[in-house]
Structure 1
């Protein structure tokens, strides 16, 4: 299986290969690279699609130490270096978007464009932070048992068959692995005041039924990015819109990537 030793982590990644425009996609909290299977299936024939597992998730071998999304951004940059990519489109869903925004701030010369799915620039809201902390503490102590697992799966996915598939994946992993990724999620900094520094083209895609991050946050993100034309609303989707509603996500995403590819020298 393909791994890259980067920043003390052994990062798992999958690379469709080819000479097309490189697109690197990072997954959301509690998810892994497999959540982008509906996008890889459609895009890989035209673009070089790279998906990877972030610290604490999937097949990546994580050192268990505290980290921030700035560190995750450095992981993505390290993966680009490992693959010999000077520039790429970067993005992802939820925390994949958090790290991609930070990558665009720390190394703008490496980013051709941003794909931002059900994510935001703000820190976690105070009214949600306490509830999420209780959920994560319960997970770390008891594991993803019901009704906790069902509640979280509904927040993220909200589709019975996919809920069951991802809950099974969660239960197969050590419960304590949630601690540091959870701390990173809840203690992330607010980068909203810096959005104007990001000038590359961007697409913001957001589920209309996302209860974790509301549409108002997506609109604020789109408004703050100079290279974004607005929010692509995914009707009926919860948090993982790209996984559950690829029929609405893939066409505008493909069109965005084609525009970027056409603009390259």
Structure 2
């Protein structure tokens, strides 16, 4: 397995390429596990994605430094973003199990511009409230101290040890047990001390700005009863849930085909993958509710493979053209291009995305996926779920999404901005997908207006199918917390009709 990062804190990863260059799906395992957590899912997921399986510091083939500071959430987030940049990806779909889900959520909150969508599987490190943190921290500190003093042998008598699970398939149990047996005490202790609890971002849940799918193994008695309350903390138009009734904590292993269908269905819903002509994926539903988190039961769900109640046995589209910005105050252009004409990406320096110098944009062909506004993005906007539009006599937006391997524009280094991207031309009857980009301030909301005049609120991306030749004008309005409102427009020539005067 290749290693990436600075010496002493390198992380292991595997890149499973797709013959057609499908967009990336990043998989992150849980506490004391490894990339083997997703071994049974690889074949199914690789049919649709380029899969990147990442191992946390102190796990699998990753290095295990002694100093707990290396395991801090901000450092874990930075390593993954630097790895993505190293691999050449500007944006990805993230999926994490248990502790890995909490880290994926933390990454989505801190760097939404990198996240096309977020999938979390049974994660109490993500779901716990401040009371959970207060209760869990002493337990984790005690575990870390004991591991440093005695090694990991005593942990083989707990539910953490995968060899005890009767819910895992033989291959997963064998691989996960092998990787558990080679865990370095420093890695387990550092993760317990600095990541399991500290990765929790309960106070920031309402600020999530990327599409979110929660996958719940209903037989995980520690997590499942609290799933509704957890999901209700997020913006309802972004949050979805899939429940797997025969699965426990390791839901992706216990019901692998259903899990894979949920992932690909979600990716199509948010326009990260193109939907098939006849789609039969599982229904994704938004959840509300108000349950109360409680006790250390959630801590168990954050860690254990066996969980509670364990007594029973696509084609990729080219990047879109980025248009100029229409604003209410002077704002610099946002899209940088390389000498080859391809969009540039910022560098990740110390965990901060640094935008390159702005440059003129170079048009590219064909539409890209929809995007959603982010609270304070540092790079480009992210993918949002497609919402059905109200009835109107005019042509309607379609639900036909398109695959996108990476974002196509980079914001300016400073100052609020808004931009709208999409193809410059289209054929009659062809779906036109546009998406907004924004940043340089705390973004509250992004709305898209279709050529019919229909407004899609809290949407930073939309698709529309023309029925006749013409010049079709889309607009995006971005609302910032300081009261500033910026508007960008994009014109698409359909059927060869000239858009006189351009866009403005």
The TM-score normalised by the length of structure 1 is: 0.86
> What is the Cα deviation at residue 251 of structure 1?
1.6
1:96 aligns to 2:105 (yes or no): no
> What is the Cα deviation at residue 132 of structure 1?
4.8
1:220 aligns to 2:232 (yes or no): no
Q: Return the alpha-carbon distance in structure 2 between the equivalents of residues 261 and 108 of structure 1.
A: 19
1:183 aligns to 2:193 (yes or no): yes
Which SS does the other structure have where 2:210 is aligned?
coil
Which one of 39, 42, 45 corresponds to residue 43 of structure 1?
Answer: 45
Which SS does the other structure have where 1:80 is aligned?
helix
2:55 paired residue number: 53
In terms of mean alpha carbon deviation, does 54-63 or 110-119 score higher?
Answer: 54-63
> What is the Cα deviation at residue 91 of structure 1?
2.4
2:86 paired residue number: 82
> What is the Cα deviation at residue 228 of structure 1?
4.0
Which SS does the other structure have where 2:74 is aligned?
helix
2:344 paired residue number: none
Change (3 A) 1:166 1:150: farther
1:233 aligns to 2:243 (yes or no): yes
Which one of 198, 202, 207 corresponds to residue 208 of structure 2?
Answer: 198
Q: Return the alpha-carbon distance in structure 2 between the equivalents of residues 97 and 189 of structure 1.
A: 10
Change (3 A) 1:131 1:196: closer
Q: Deviations over 1:27-79 (max 9, x none)?
A: 10001111111221101022111101111101112333323222211111111
Q: Deviations over 1:112-157 (max 9, x none)?
A: 0001111124354544554454444444433343674343237995
Q: Return the alpha-carbon distance in structure 2 between the equivalents of residues 218 and 50 of structure 1.
A: 27
Unaligned runs of 5+ in 1: none
Q: Return the alpha-carbon distance in structure 2 between the equivalents of residues 139 and 28 of structure 1.
A: 18
Number of residue pairs the alignment of both structures matches: 264
1:122 aligns to 2:132 (yes or no): no
Q: Deviations over 1:207-236 (max 9, x none)?
A: 22325x522443233222325443322224
Instruction: Answer with 1 or 2: which has the greater Rg.
Output: 2
- Checking the alignment, whether the CA contact within 8 Å between 1:157 and 1:240 is kept in structure 2 is no
- Checking the alignment, whether the CA contact within 8 Å between 1:55 and 1:61 is kept in structure 2 is yes
1:152 aligns to 2:160 (yes or no): yes
Show structure 1 runs of 4+ deviating over 6 A: none
Q: Return the alpha-carbon distance in structure 2 between the equivalents of residues 149 and 165 of structure 1.
A: 18
1:9 paired residue number: 9
In terms of mean alpha carbon deviation, does 161-170 or 28-37 score higher?
Answer: 161-170
> What is the Cα deviation at residue 96 of structure 1?
1.2
2:115 paired residue number: 111
Q: Return the alpha-carbon distance in structure 2 between the equivalents of residues 8 and 197 of structure 1.
A: 34
Q: Return the alpha-carbon distance in structure 2 between the equivalents of residues 229 and 237 of structure 1.
A: 21
Change (3 A) 1:157 1:250: farther
- Checking the alignment, whether the CA contact within 8 Å between 1:16 and 1:44 is kept in structure 2 is yes
Q: Return the alpha-carbon distance in structure 1 between the equivalents of residues 182 and 7 of structure 2.
A: 26
Aligned-residue Cα RMSD (Å) equals: 2.8
Q: Return the alpha-carbon distance in structure 1 between the equivalents of residues 62 and 39 of structure 2.
A: 18
2:258 paired residue number: 248
Q: Return the alpha-carbon distance in structure 1 between the equivalents of residues 52 and 155 of structure 2.
A: 34
> What is the Cα deviation at residue 258 of structure 1?
2.8
Unaligned runs of 5+ in 2: 275-400, 403-432, 434-504
Q: Return the alpha-carbon distance in structure 2 between the equivalents of residues 203 and 156 of structure 1.
A: 29
Change (3 A) 1:219 1:254: same
Q: Return the alpha-carbon distance in structure 2 between the equivalents of residues 132 and 250 of structure 1.
A: 32
Which is richer in helix? 1
The TM-score normalised by the length of structure 2 is: 0.48
Q: Return the alpha-carbon distance in structure 2 between the equivalents of residues 205 and 105 of structure 1.
A: 19
